Amino acid sequence: MSVITKHVVIVGGGTAGWLSASLLAKQHGQSVKVTLIESCDIPTVGVGEGTWPSMRTTLQKIGISEAEFITKCNATFKQASKFVNWVANSGDEYYHPFTAPIGNGKLDIAAYWQDQAHSNSSFCDTVTFQSMLCREGIAPKSIANKEYETVANYGYHLDAGKFAQLLKEHSIEKLGVKHIVGNVTHVNQDAHANITGVVTDSAGLIEAEFFVDCSGFKSLLLGGALKVPFIAKNDILFADTALAMQVPYQDPQQAIACQTISTAQEAGWIWDIGLQHRRGVGYVYSSQYSSEEQARATLKKYVGPQSANISIRKISFQTGHREIFWKNNCVAIGLASGFLEPLEASALMLVETSANFIADQLPLTSDEMLPLSRRFNHVFQAKWRGIIDFLKLHYILSRREETFWQANKQPASIPDSLSQLLALWKHRSPSDYDFLQNYEAFSAQSYAYVLYGAGYKTDFSLTQHLHNQHERANKLLLMKQQQTNQLALRLPRHRELINQIAQQGFAKL
């Protein structure tokens, strides 16, 4: 007999739990009860500090104003990722911005850029204005723009702990989510292994028709009760440890970087994220190629003398994901579903897209559980594969000579799916035809920014006849340059905009 979904229970808080609760309650709060069970004994990892532009839509959907979010979460604007010393450890740098190349969808601009007439400047500088905005510390909009409105495409940098707290308050006070503080001590299941309820030490048995596992690395429901295997990916991505620091600004009005800065090191890379009052800095490395002592010294050297008075937090992780992400009447979101290194801010993106999917496609009856779970697993298996391919691409394009970097280039560590893409790109640039599924994690444009930023050369000699619109290409590139000049004059500095938001907020929608 079909069972109607009347109650959803989320096990675990943090960003994954409270974002899931917010979206579910916003869309189904009138007809479905949402309960979140949060342990006070388990701290959140709390280092996911970068988002994709899609977070703007999600925040709007759940009803949080942009000014409130920026003020309460110590948030700033993210326009790109910047990669330093990833190519040859020679002071080299390239950008992966959020704004698509000029002429995207109309003209394959890469072929014209690689022409001698334009190759004296980087691919990113040639095809978009956004690298200039980042380099000059210019914001992606002005205070005259409305909330969530863009001039240049942007996501955010944020304090993960404060973000989870904002979502928690919003979920409970404005969306009616029931909050239970307690530990899950037992998971009840029926004869078909469906979860019927969870037993807590503070509120006893809590029954529901659908469960969301946001219990972090423990994966209490999906991995524990439902025994879904973990598929390790450390044969492809070697990082397994992070050392994290919070570095205060010495000058409270110091300029704020509006891009995530990723600086390659001997056995990994250092992230550097500018918030309003501090930077989040951390070294992601492979314990196979660096001792913890060496890694701490590397991180302290990067931060400088200020590091002497700052504590370092160590986070160990296993790279990989669950074999499936939704089994029976339980779906895992966040670390409970898996984790890859924090390159390109994929962790929060997966939380966000998973939570949005479940809110949009919540099974209304038990009859819908199987077809929806199959759809979800199909979509997210493709997303995880795409993320792994894209992250690995950054490593295999490097010409660094350290053992860690050379190991990353070994053919056995490169997924077949990525090798096939690289074979295509010998004579043509990344295309939307390479990513026909609309749920791919990264677009052709993202691949192009990394490929050509890292110095990859496509041999267009066999496709010259397809690239005969030189006059049109030149007009587009001239238009891009005019945009660059105008935005440099129109838009404020990043710190200036953050100060204005604190004082007056944006124009309202």
Could you report the per-residue pLDDT of 51-98, keeping only the tens digit for each?
A: 999 999 999 999 999 999 999 999 999 999 999 999 999 999 999 999
Contact 331, 325 (CB under 8 A): yes
Give pLDDT tens digits for 460-505: 988 888 888 989 999 999 999 999 999 999 999 999 999 999 999 8
| Of residues 9, 78, 75, the one with CA closest to residue 358 | 9
Confidence band for 509, pLDDT divided at 50, 70 and 90? low
Burial of 86 (0-12, 13-18, 19+ CB in 10 A): buried
Task: Name residue 317's amino acid.
Answer: F
Phi and psi, residue 284, nearest 5°: -100, 120
Q: What is the mean pLDDT of residues 246-264?
A: 96
Confidence band for 156, pLDDT divided at 50, 70 and 90? very high
Task: Name residue 507's amino acid.
Answer: A
Which pLDDT does position 37 carry in this prediction? 98
Which pLDDT does position 29 carry in this prediction? 86
Q: Is the pLDDT of residue 405 over 70?
A: yes
Q: How many CB atoms lie within 10 A of CB 77?
A: 21
Confidence band for 115, pLDDT divided at 50, 70 and 90? confident
**292 Cβ partners below 8 Å, 6+ apart?**
241, 243, 314
CA 265, 398, 49 angle in degrees (round to 5)? 55
Confidence band for 30, pLDDT divided at 50, 70 and 90? confident
Burial of 459 (0-12, 13-18, 19+ CB in 10 A): exposed
Which is it for the CA torsion 143, 147, 151, 156, positive or negative? positive
Give pLDDT tens digits for 374-403: 999 999 999 999 999 999 999 999 999 999
Which pLDDT does position 316 carry in this prediction? 95
Alpha carbon distance 364, 368 (integer Å): 7
Burial of 34 (0-12, 13-18, 19+ CB in 10 A): buried
3-state SS, residue 264? strand
Give the sheet arrangement for strand 195-200, strand by strand. 184-189, 195-200, 204-207
CA 170, 171, 177 angle in degrees (round to 5)? 150
505: left (phi over 0), alpha (psi -120 to 50) or beta: left
Which pair of structure tokens corresponds to residue 197?
A: 């309820």
Q: Is the pLDDT of residue 224 over 60?
A: yes
Contact 272, 257 (CB under 8 A): yes
Phi and psi, residue 131, nearest 5°: -65, -35
Which of 224-246 are b and which e, b meaning 16 or more Cβ less than 10 Å from the residue's Cβ?
Answer: ebbebebeebeebbbbbbbbbbb
Give pLDDT tens digits for 165-218: 999 999 999 999 999 999 999 999 999 999 999 999 999 999 999 999 999 999
Catalogue the active-site residues.
78
Q: Is the pLDDT of residue 46 over 60?
A: no
Burial of 493 (0-12, 13-18, 19+ CB in 10 A): middle
Burial of 288 (0-12, 13-18, 19+ CB in 10 A): middle
Give pLDDT tens digits for 337-347: 999 999 999 99
Q: Is the pLDDT of residue 319 over 60?
A: yes
Cross-strand pairs, 332 = 213
- 7-49+159-234+319-381 homologous superfamily: FAD/NAD(P)-binding domain (3.50.50.60)
